[in-house]
Structure 1
Amino acid sequence: MCGPSDSVLRPLRGDSISVRLSVFLLILTMRPTMGGGGPGLGNPRAGPEFPAYEHKDQVDAVAGAQNNFTRDLYVALAKGSTDNLFFSPFSIMTAIAMTHTGAKANTMEEIRKVLHLPENKEDVFNGFHDVVKDIKTPVNEYELRTSNMAYVSDKLSLLEEFASVLTNKFHSISKTVNFGASEEVRNEINQAVEKETNSRIKDLIPSGVLDALTRMVLVNAVYFKGTWSKQFDEAATKTLPFHTTKDTSVNIPMMYIKDNFNLFHNRDLGARLLSMDYEGGRLSMVIVLPDEVDGLATVEDKLATMDLNTIDKRMGSIKVEVTLPKFKLEESLQLKSYLQEMGIKDLFDEEKADLSGIGGSKDLHVSHVIHKAFLEVNEQGSEAAAATGVVMMTRMMIRTPPPFKADHPFFFYIRDRRSNFILFSGRYVKPVEN
């Protein structure tokens, strides 16, 4: 799946940045300043062997950072909300990382800390270089692609170093545009995003976000479509109750399969984790199902201090009955306030922002971060798109585990097992009318 991430640059005063992710779409807009548990169960998890990256250590470092950022952003988005949630941490982080390339002083340090990035920017560049290049390489088993695009005002001259990093490290395509014709540029960007996300993300940038003061829009789009390596039988799908609370349920289509899957029970988290691979074995969806019907809030509180890098690493393969909702999720998020709460403040402040590594002056700041995302899960597989410590577990000493029945709110994510990046994440708490 492809989703865009855009950053629009405008003058520091009257600035506005807008980022949208549509099934992993992020848009950043900037403007110039106007004035100035225990072991798993069953057999140890096995999977395909992947060739090593050219910059393996840097990829590992950035992947670790990305997992931590995913956790922090999920906790921030979930806090105080009881709704479904879906976003692409890969898309969002890629767009912000491109902006980080041109950040200086405290603006750079705030972004680095929130994204958990290595201090050496070259490590960041090389890590993203290998992963983005890898994802852009077509494969037969599934569709996974990403695209980085930079729309630059004809009134802004990019520093050679910044332009080089966008092109050579983030594999970004740059285009010079006239933001005086803002509606034409908006339509052009939205059409490019729609194409990259297989028409799943439309109208990423709303009317009124771009104007003659806009100086740059950075876009990241991610698209994924995969089939389960072990598909559900459509004939086995039945209408069953999904318990939104202990006392409330809604009848929805529930898929069923009995087969070998990677599974374990994490007592510290109070949940069972099930991993379901897509064809090719590189990508998998991990479902974190609370032990209690109303246990998701408690699980989310515990996630805030856990390491997503290791949470699913001690699974074991065992035959289990799986019941999973058939569902679609669509999300549109304004991320600016969440990122500010997490610690990225100067980037959005027209007086304090220092993005002088982009064009040589401090007259740019980010005004909006918009993310739009889409996910569909059915018997065949999934389709998604977007534009932005050691856990102790307890071995279950039984041959046949209890059924894994996802009939109450749960947390999930889709991981690229080669890079260890989390491409998509969210939670399903209640059915929605399509």
Structure 2
Amino acid sequence: MLSRLAFGLLLSLHVLLVLSSTTNSSKSPFPPASPSLPSLLNDPSWALGVRLYKALRSDSSSVNTLFSPLLLASSLGALAESSVGKTADQIQDLLKTPSKTKRKVGDILSVALKSFVEANGTSFQMHTSSSVFTKQAPALSHTFTKQSHSRFRLQHQTLGKGDFKADLKQLHDWAKAVLSEKKGAPLEAEIKAKAGAMILANALHFKGLWERKLSEESTDHRTFLGKKYTKVIMMHRAGLYHFHEDIDNMVQVLEAPLWGGKASLILLMPFHVENLARLDKLLTLELLSKWLESTVVTSVAVSLPKANITSTLSLQVGAVLLAVYDSFLVDWCSFET
């Protein structure tokens, strides 16, 4: 199995109903969780993903948000390798991991990104791109553009001399081209890029392919609790999954494999119907790593909603704009074998 790749999904809704009964994992046709799986504590994308998740969820007005820590961390990694002084220190601080590792952060991210791209067409189908946009800034060095593209697939785009509306349109046009005309969520935040500004942009369309698909023939409508009760279409299946129940913290952890075993969907679920405030406060990278290492093969009945999820996220830091623009479209309703 490849290293688990962080893919952040922030939901204010409970998206599935899971009922479980213990199965002897030694008799299962699926192997137990690989003991050689690299620790999440040494992975800068997971570390960044959890920190960003908690920062976003600290805002009580936050809405459903989707982002890719791997793309974000890789783009920052490209900048870190070519930055000096305070800028380099700030970026490296963002990418730090709880555990010390002998490997350089840039090397870890470069290898993980390469594995992610090479798995395209196996466990999932995707369209993705990362770019650094500069506005009326000095020319980037040839060494930086060459190395950032070869190691982190980071391209370079220049913004025109127009106002923020022209900049926003250029970003949207770029994302639309990357997503192959797929309709993504609009970027609502204004991007006021002054002369010399740099914008990191990631765009991703992701369509997962189930190892064993959920039954669309047995769909039904069920009540779904978010800010209010609503009816959603649910798909169902029963099978063997890596599963763990943390009794003390009242959290269920389910890892559902995608086709070919090169990627999986990880779901964290409170025992009871509640908002996610308690789980948000509880979540740490160390605890998440412990949960995943504790999973065993178990017979589980799963229900998932049939839906498409789109999201954009804009982050701005400091007086000089350093924004990360994520335009994601995840096609959940057409997971297939």
Q: TM-score range, shorter-chain basis? A: 0.7 to 0.9
Is 1:265 matched up with 2:245?
Answer: yes
* Pair 1:77-2:56 in alignment: yes
Do residues 46 (structure 1) and 28 (structure 2) align? Answer: no
Contact 1:278 1:284 (8 Å CA) reproduced: yes
Maintained 8 Å contact 1:240/1:252: yes
Change (3 A) 1:140 1:295: closer
**2:184 paired residue number:** 201
* Corresponding position: 1:275 with 2:255: yes
How far is 1:61 from its partner?
A: 8.2
Closer, same or farther: CA 204–268 of 1 in aligned 2, 3 Å: same
Over the residues paired in the alignment, what is the CA RMSD in angstroms?
A: 3.8
Matches within 5 A, 1:91-240: 91-116=71-96, 123-137=104-118, 139-141=120-122, 142-152=124-134, 156-175=138-157, 177=158, 179-180=160-161, 187-198=169-180, 199-201=182-184, 209-210=192-193, 213-214=195-196, 216-240=198-222
How far is 1:104 from its partner? 2.7
Encode CA deviations 1:168-209: one digit per residue, 9 max, x unaligned. Answer: 32133335x462256776545432321222324366597763
CA distance, structure 1, for counterparts of residue 58 and residue 188 of structure 2? 26
Amino acid at match of 1:190: H
- Equivalence for 1:401: none
Matched-pair contact (CA < 8 Å) for 2:32–2:296: no
Q: Distance in 2 between matches of 1:202 and 1:239?
A: 26
Shift of the 61–366 alpha-carbon distance from structure 1 to 2, 3 Å rule, reads farther
Kindly name which structure, 1 or 2, has the bigger radius of gyration based on alpha carbons. 1
Q: How far off its partner does 1:312 sit?
A: 1.5
| CA deviations over 1:345-380 (Å, ceiling 9, x no partner) | xx614xxxxxxxxxxxxxxx3354443433342363
Query: 1:325 deviation in Å?
Result: 2.2
Distance 2:286 2:241 in 1: 23
CA contact under 8 A between 1:231 and 1:379: conserved in structure 2?
no
What TM-score results when the alignment is normalised by the length of structure 2? 0.75
Question: Per the alignment, do residues 190 and 284 of structure 1 end up closer, same or farther by CA in structure 2, a change over 3 Å counting?
Answer: same
Give yes or no for contact 1:62–1:124 (8 Å, CA) kept in 2. no
The answer for unaligned runs of 5 or more in structure 1 is: 1-22, 25-39, 337-346, 350-364, 383-434
Q: 1:285–1:209: structure 2 CA closer, same or farther, 3 Å change rule? A: same
Equivalence for 2:43:
64
Q: Is contact 1:135-1:146 (8 Å) kept?
A: no
Which structure 2 residues correspond to residues 289-300 of structure 1 after superposition, within 5 A? Answer: 289-294=269-274, 296-300=276-280
* Superposition deviation, residue 154 in structure 1: 6.9
How far off its partner does 1:319 sit? 2.1
Q: Distance in 1 between matches of 2:259 and 2:106?
A: 30
**Matching residue of 2:318:** 348
What is the CA distance between 1:314 and its match in structure 2? 2.5
CA distance in 1, matches of 2:153, 2:246: 39
- The 8 Å contact of residues 73 and 109 in structure 2, kept in 1 or not, is answered as no
What's the CA shift for 1:291?
Answer: 0.8
**Residue 129 to residue 60, structure 1, CA distance change in 2 (3 Å):** farther
- Alignment length (residue pairs): 309
**Residues in 2 aligned to 1:257 and 1:312: alpha-carbon distance in whole angstroms:** 22
